[in-house]
């Protein structure tokens, strides 16, 4: 049984804590099942499932920290584990940035677990693939897709009396459909905590339509264009911005959030006044873990309001050094990319197209890399469905473009926005942006 | 929360130490445990035979077993502080079978006869279940069994045997040197990998390999707070298939480059490079912003390696060409019809690019690949013409061939092996010609060293590359540093603009330590050898912006 109950987890953690002779100790237990199925050329090529449970300890003497972990839960193994972590800690160099462990905290309720996702088995995964392949086989199309699901728990407790426990599930599904002549390609991706919200057939249908509609792409001149970014495309770029909402690098003078002459740009109007970015751990569309990497409870936070920078994240160490309260990042899934809520508008993508004299509709971006961290300039390409709009209508598919653009400049060039939808754990609206910089053409399909 | 999130999460309360968790590939152990021997070869053979027999009994027509112990150590510092030390071990077995003409794979950390038998049976069950959706039965290129053989990376100093303190002292010395020369911030690190891999298959191979890789690196940042500017300069080291001797900084491996500072071959002086980096980071803040236009590019091997990787290495992966990576990494412009034509000009006549997993000191250097094929060297581009791809056993028949190139790799016992890039390298020029000679011959050009921002489309046509440091060349001389440089080109056009390659005395490796591919994503490491090379009339853009 990979998922322990809260009580079972607490019992083990308390037992391990009782073995400690260090100044401070923290015990974490993680358990879960990760499953996947991958298909290409209309046929399954890999699938698998991993079950894992692991207990880790961090032992601390002064500012010296040692870590160790095990998957053996018997008393003898756990005692040995604690002794090993303490031994490592004694030999470790001091970490001057070490912050003492937290005492008991109150965390917001979590809605990260879905029973439907927890029930996924190999047959279910095969069906997801079959539903997707089923509509592309025999239609001069090929599907390549990937489903990954997770169900598990994490619990931790420390020698200062803190304890937390959370169960969570996730499912990520993406599919690329290509025409067999290699001239058209379409893509769609969805992520949920609750798999009952996923229909691989519907998602594949979107990718299929894009593949068919994009198969006669024409070359047009690169340059500055009005773009309509579908939520996936907008999310590709906006996630690059939110990663920089960090006070330390700004204070250190090495971030786009650094102020000329020193300090951060909190209080400065950096974006169009329609830009408001918040995070809310209780939002049910993008549920997230109730605590952050420092073990602090996540809070409802306004990062940008009406274009003005309101907050940057402060780690416990940096907050103490600067004499302010710590503030966790939005902290959705993965490496801090998710958890942000971008206030949108009320225009649909169809409305945006209708009001566009000359522009480009973008499905997604690809291979995005930082070019200049000072200005947050990124480069990358459009992929899997790029269309030319003229006089309020989609005229024809176009060859892919390379862009060189900064999300900061983009958020100063907003024409309109639509209703936000979940993309990679954040809520992102479709956006119409003027003067988006495409610098060259690509023949890639 | 996925495994990687948990690893990050378990660093809770440890401040900067959490950073090190991101690089932990296994379970934390002590440094001493990294030196403990794993189970002996005879015991591994018995366990492997258990798997081979169990799978056969359930109906598998082919089985391979990989018993792997993967060790890693990473040391991270920042300015005067140690940020983290991670020692990790992971041990388990991965079993791959063919049943009903279909692959099945299963892995377990329960390395006992019972655990392995159950794992083999699961692999067969998965193969049979997936065979219902199968449209193309697997055809394996024949491979003769190699019997009981061993292969070890030819290292001089086992990095795991060097005390952690020695590594910390070296990194902090480099940090101090950078700070003394005007750096505002320095992050430095050393990553060390030891893969102890045992492979057995129903072809009659029992292969025991001990593989080492090492990667020292740093990033030095200079800041001008008053003007609101900052620039970083990354290390000009490269990951190598070597032991700790790479850190010796031997004089014979130092090369005075045309820009007037030292570049490195198979031995690296981190302190010396940190001093150059601090000086150059400061210089970069006020360097001249490039005027966009066409330039002749002189590319140092430490830069060109990444361009080779992205524009030749990836597009010639046969699984991409066939569509297996369509939903993630993408497909390839280098389609089978171009290869079959026999006259597809990938590059100019002097472009000869070969693949191998056999060059000493390279990251790809291995005796046998992860499906028991003896590693070798072969041509990908000959006299500018596309002549071959990178293939593994179940792909060779598609090319009408009978022998695998030996490109199968799995990043762990728990990952299934698939086609991964071998070393892909540009052969040096045949006539005596140095980087200094090359600069002398350029009228209007840019000399680029080190890797920078890199981006390429999903079929590998259009790319944009930056670099670490850029120098303007005017009438045969380097006249000063440039900033905001990136070049954009098309793969075929770019390689056809290659006009000159320095000789073998300048041949050096550039490597990538964590090349990602596949779903779920797997990491691999490869090197790219080249000599300084010239490309004419390449489009350079200016990447400076005002915000």
Kind of pairing between the strands at B288-289 and B477-483: parallel
H helix intervals, B365-458 = 435-440
Q: What is the mean pLDDT of residues A209-238?
A: 96
What mean pLDDT, rounded, does chain B reach? 93
Q: Are residues A153 and A31 in the same domain?
A: yes
Identify whether the C-beta of residue B207 lies closer than 8 Å to the C-beta of residue B367. yes
Q: Are residues A75 and A222 in the same domain?
A: no
Q: Do A133 and B133 touch (CB under 8 A)?
A: yes
Instruction: Give yes or no for B541 touching A (CB within 8 A).
Output: yes
CA distance A57 to A80: 11
pLDDT in tens, B446-495: 999 999 999 999 999 999 999 999 999 999 999 999 999 999 999 999 99
Could you tell me which of B32, B158, B33 has the C-alpha nearest to residue B91? B33
pTM: 0.93
Q: Are residues A226 and A133 in the same domain?
A: no
CA distance B181 to B201: 56
Buried b (16+ CB within 10 A) or exposed e, B94-118: bbbbbbbebbbbbbbbebeeebbbe
Q: How far is the alpha carbon of A423 from chain B, nearest alpha carbon, in Å? A: 17
CA A188-A189-A191 angle, to 5 degrees, is 155
* CB contacts, 8 Å: B488 with chain A: 402, 439-440
pLDDT tens for chain B, 547 residues long, are 344 343 333 333 222 233 333 344 577 777 888 888 888 999 999 999 999 999 999 999 999 999 999 999 999 999 999 988 888 888 999 999 999 999 999 888 889 999 999 999 999 998 888 888 787 889 999 999 999 999 999 999 999 999 999 999 999 999 999 999 999 999 999 999 999 999 999 999 999 999 999 999 999 999 998 888 899 999 999 999 999 999 999 999 999 999 999 999 999 999 999 999 999 999 999 999 999 999 999 999 999 999 999 999 999 999 999 999 999 999 999 999 999 999 999 999 999 999 999 999 999 999 999 999 999 999 999 999 999 999 999 999 888 888 999 999 999 999 999 999 999 999 999 999 999 999 999 999 999 999 999 999 999 999 999 999 999 999 999 999 999 999 999 999 999 999 999 999 999 999 999 999 999 999 999 999 999 999 999 999 999 988 8
* SS3 at position B366: coil
ipTM value > 0.95:
no
Enclosing domain of residue A323: 216-445
Domain annotation covers residue A97: yes
Domain annotation covers residue A103: yes
Q: Are residues A199 and A342 in the same domain?
A: no
pLDDT in tens, A92-119: 899 999 999 999 999 988 889 999 999 9
From chain B residues 73-92, the ones with a CB under 8 A of any chain A CB are 81-85
Of B18, B109, B327, the CB nearest to A176: B327
Domain count, chain A: 2
Place of tokens 């440039």: B482
Q: Are residues A379 and A427 in the same domain?
A: yes
Identify whether the C-beta of residue B3 lies closer than 8 Å to the C-beta of residue A34. yes
Identify whether the C-beta of residue B526 lies closer than 8 Å to the C-beta of residue B424. yes
Q: Are residues A178 and A294 in the same domain?
A: no
CA distance B409 to B391: 11
Q: Are residues A204 and A269 in the same domain?
A: no
Q: Which structural domains are found in chain B, ordered by start?
A: 3-161+191-213 (3.30.2290.10), 293-356+377-392+422-542 (no CATH)
Domain closes at, from A168, A190, A213 = A213
CA distance B263 to A35: 46
Q: Are residues A222 and A339 in the same domain?
A: yes
Q: Are residues A87 and A31 in the same domain?
A: yes
With 60 as the cut, is the pLDDT of residue A333 above it?
no
* CB contacts, 8 Å: A256 with chain B: 547
Report residue A337's pLDDT band, with 50, 70 and 90 as the boundaries: low
H helix intervals, B414-454 = 435-440
Q: Which residue of A has its CA nearest to B540?
A: A439
Q: Are residues A105 and A161 in the same domain?
A: yes
At residue A232, the pLDDT reads 96
Identify whether the C-beta of residue A318 lies closer than 8 Å to the C-beta of residue A246. no
pLDDT in tens, A256-310: 999 999 999 999 999 999 999 999 988 999 988 888 877 888 889 999 999 999 9
CA distance B292 to B286: 18
Domain annotation covers residue A186: yes
With 50 as the cut, is the pLDDT of residue A1 above it?
no
Could you tell me which of B230, B222, B236 has the C-alpha nearest to residue B179? B222
pLDDT in tens, A379-437: 999 999 999 999 999 999 999 999 999 999 999 999 999 999 999 889 999 999 999 99
Instruction: Give yes or no for B341 touching A (CB within 8 A).
Output: no
CA distance B285 to B301: 25
CA B323-B329-B330 angle, to 5 degrees, is 40
Domain closes at, from A191, A213, A235 = A213
Domain annotation covers residue A31: yes
CA distance B392 to B372: 11
CA distance A163 to A186: 46
Q: Are residues A239 and A196 in the same domain?
A: no
- The strand ranges marked E within A237-392 are 277-279, 301-305, 308-309, 341-342, 358-372, 377-390
Report residue A42's pLDDT band, with 50, 70 and 90 as the boundaries: confident
Domain annotation covers residue A1: no
CA distance A436 to A413: 8
Domain annotation covers residue A342: yes
Domain annotation covers residue A58: yes
CA distance B303 to B238: 10
Q: How far is the alpha carbon of A368 from chain B, nearest alpha carbon, in Å? A: 7
CA distance A135 to B216: 50
Q: Do B130 and A47 touch (CB under 8 A)?
A: yes
Report chain A's terminal Cα–Cα distance, integer Å. Answer: 45
Which of A16, A41, A45, A244 is the best mutation test for B, with the most CBs of B within 10 A? A45
Domain closes at, from A165, A196, A213 = A213
Q: Do A95 and B105 touch (CB under 8 A)?
A: no
For chains A and B, what is the number of CB pairs under 8 angstroms?
Answer: 289
Which of A3, A46, A413 is the best mutation test for B, with the most CBs of B within 10 A? A46
With 70 as the cut, is the pLDDT of residue A2 above it?
no
CATH number at residue A88: 3.30.2290.10
Q: Do B486 and A252 touch (CB under 8 A)?
A: no
Q: How far is the alpha carbon of B374 from chain A, nearest alpha carbon, in Å? A: 25
At residue B135, the pLDDT reads 79
Residues 6 or more apart whose Cβ sits within 8 Å of residue A321: none
Q: Do B486 and A30 touch (CB under 8 A)?
A: no
Q: Are residues A345 and A226 in the same domain?
A: yes
CA distance A273 to A311: 16
At residue A109, the pLDDT reads 86
Tokens of A248: 């330390």
Q: Which residue of B has its CA nearest to A404?
A: B543
């Amino acid at each position: 049984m990979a998922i322990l109950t809260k009580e079972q987890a607490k019992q083990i953690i308390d037992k391990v804590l009782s073995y400690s002779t260090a100044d401070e100790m923290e015990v974490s237990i993680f358990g879960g099942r990760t499953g996947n199925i991958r298909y290409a050329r209309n046929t399954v090529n890999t699938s698998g499932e991993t079950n894992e449970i692991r207990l880790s300890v961090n032992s601390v003497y002064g500012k010296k920290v040692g870590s160790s972990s095990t998957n053996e839960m018997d008393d003898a193994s756990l005692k040995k584990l604690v002794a090993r972590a303490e031994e490592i800690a004694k030999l470790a160099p001091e970490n001057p940035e070490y912050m003492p462990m937290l005492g008991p905290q109150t965390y917001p309720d979590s809605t990260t677990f879905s029973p439907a996702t927890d029930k996924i088995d190999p047959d279910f995964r095969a069906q997801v693939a079959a539903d997707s392949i089923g509509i592309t086989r025999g239609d001069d199309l090929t599907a390549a897709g990937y489903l990954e699901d997770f169900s598990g728990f994490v619990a931790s407790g420390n020698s200062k009396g803190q304890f937390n426990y959370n169960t969570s599930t996730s499912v990520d599904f993406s599919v690329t459909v290509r025409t067999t002549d290699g001239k058209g390609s379409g893509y769609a991706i969805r992520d949920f905590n609750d798999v009952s919200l996923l229909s691989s057939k519907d998602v594949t249908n979107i990718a299929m339509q894009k593949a068919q509609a994009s198969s006669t792409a024409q070359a047009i001149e690169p340059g500055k264009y009005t773009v309509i970014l579908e939520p996936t495309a907008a999310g590709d770029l906006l996630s690059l911005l939110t990663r920089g909402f960090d006070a330390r690098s700004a204070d250190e003078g090495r971030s786009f959030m650094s102020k000329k002459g020193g300090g951060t740009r909190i209080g400065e109007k950096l974006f169009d006044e329609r830009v408001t970015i918040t995070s809310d751990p209780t939002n049910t569309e993008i549920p997230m873990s109730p605590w952050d990497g420092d073990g602090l409870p996540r809070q409802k936070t306004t990062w940008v309001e009406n274009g003005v920078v309101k907050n940057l994240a402060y780690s416990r160490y940096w907050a103490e050094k600067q004499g302010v309260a710590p503030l966790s990042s939005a902290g959705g899934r993965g490496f801090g990319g998710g958890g942000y809520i971008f206030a949108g508008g009320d225009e649909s993508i169809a409305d945006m197209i209708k009001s566009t004299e000359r522009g480009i509709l973008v499905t997604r971006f690809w291979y995005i890399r930082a070019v200049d961290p000072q200005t947050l300039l990124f480069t990358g390409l459009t992929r899997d469905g790029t269309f030319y709009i003229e006089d309020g209508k989609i005229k024809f598919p176009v060859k892919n473009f390379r862009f060189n653009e900064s999300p900061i400049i983009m958020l100063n060039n907003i024409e309109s926005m639509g209703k936000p939808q979940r993309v990679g754990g954040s809520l992102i609206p479709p956006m119409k942006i003027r003067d988006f910089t495409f610098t060259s053409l690509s023949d890639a399909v | 929360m996925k495994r990687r999130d948990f690893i990050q999460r378990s660093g809770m309360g440890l401040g900067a130490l959490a950073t090190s968790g991101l690089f932990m590939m296994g379970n934390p152990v002590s440094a001493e445990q990294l030196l403990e021997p794993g189970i002996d070869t005879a015991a591994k053979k018995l366990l492997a035979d258990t798997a081979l027999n169990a799978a056969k009994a359930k109906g598998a027509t082919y089985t391979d077993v990989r018993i792997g112990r993967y060790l890693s150590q990473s040391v991270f510092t920042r300015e005067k502080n140690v940020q983290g030390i991670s020692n990790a071990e992971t041990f388990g077995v991965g079993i791959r079978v063919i049943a009903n003409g279909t692959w099945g794979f299963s892995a377990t950390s329960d390395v006992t006869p019972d655990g392995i038998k159950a794992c083999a049976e699961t692999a067969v069950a998965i193969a049979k279940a997936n065979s219902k959706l199968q449209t193309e039965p697997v055809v394996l290129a024949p491979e003769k069994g190699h019997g009981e053989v061993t292969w070890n990376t030819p290292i001089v100093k086992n990095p795991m045997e060097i005390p952690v303190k020695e590594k910390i002292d070296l990194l902090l010395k480099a940090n101090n040197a950078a700070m003394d020369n005007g750096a505002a911030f320095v992050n430095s690190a050393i990553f060390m990998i030891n893969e102890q891999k045992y492979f057995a298959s129903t072809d009659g191979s029992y292969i025991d390999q001990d593989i080492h890789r090492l990667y020292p690196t740093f990033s030095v940042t200079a800041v001008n707070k008053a003007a609101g500017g900052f620039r970083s300069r990354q290390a000009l080291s490269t990951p190598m298939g070597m032991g700790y001797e790479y850190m010796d900084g031997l004089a014979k491996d130092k090369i005075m480059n045309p820009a007037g500072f030292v570049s490195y071959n198979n031995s690296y002086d981190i302190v010396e490079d940190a001093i150059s980096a601090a000086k150059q980071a400061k210089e970069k803040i006020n360097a001249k912003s490039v005027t966009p236009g066409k330039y002749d590019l002189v590319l140092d091997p430490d830069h060109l390696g990444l361009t080779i990787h992205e524009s030749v290495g990836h597009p010639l992966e046969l699984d991409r060409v066939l569509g297996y990576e369509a939903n993630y990494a993408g497909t390839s412009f280098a389609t089978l019809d171009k290869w079959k034509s026999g006259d597809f000009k990938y590059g100019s006549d002097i472009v000869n690019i070969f693949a191998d997993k056999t060059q000493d000191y390279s990251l790809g250097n291995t005796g046998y690949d992860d499906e028991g094929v003896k590693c070798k060297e072969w041509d990908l581009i000959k006299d500018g013409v596309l002549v071959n791809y990178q293939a593994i056993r179940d792909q060779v028949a598609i090319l009408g061939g009978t022998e695998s190139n030996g490109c199968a790799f799995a990043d762990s016992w728990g990952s299934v092996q698939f086609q991964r890039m071998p070393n892909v390298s540009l052969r040096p020029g045949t006539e005596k010609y140095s980087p200094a000679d090359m600069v002398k011959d350029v009228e209007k050009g840019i000399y680029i060293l080190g890797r920078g921002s890199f981006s390429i489309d999903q079929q590998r046509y259009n790319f944009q590359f930056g670099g670490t440091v850029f120098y303007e060349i005017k009438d045969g001389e380097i006249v000063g540093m440039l900033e905001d440089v990136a070049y954009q080109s098309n793969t075929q056009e770019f390689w056809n603009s290659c006009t000159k390659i320095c000789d073998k005395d300048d041949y050096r490796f550039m490597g990538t330590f964590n090349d990602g591919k596949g779903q779920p994503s797997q990491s691999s490491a490869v090197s790219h050898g080249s000599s300084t090379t010239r490309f004419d009339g390449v489009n350079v853009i200016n990447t400076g912006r005002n915000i």
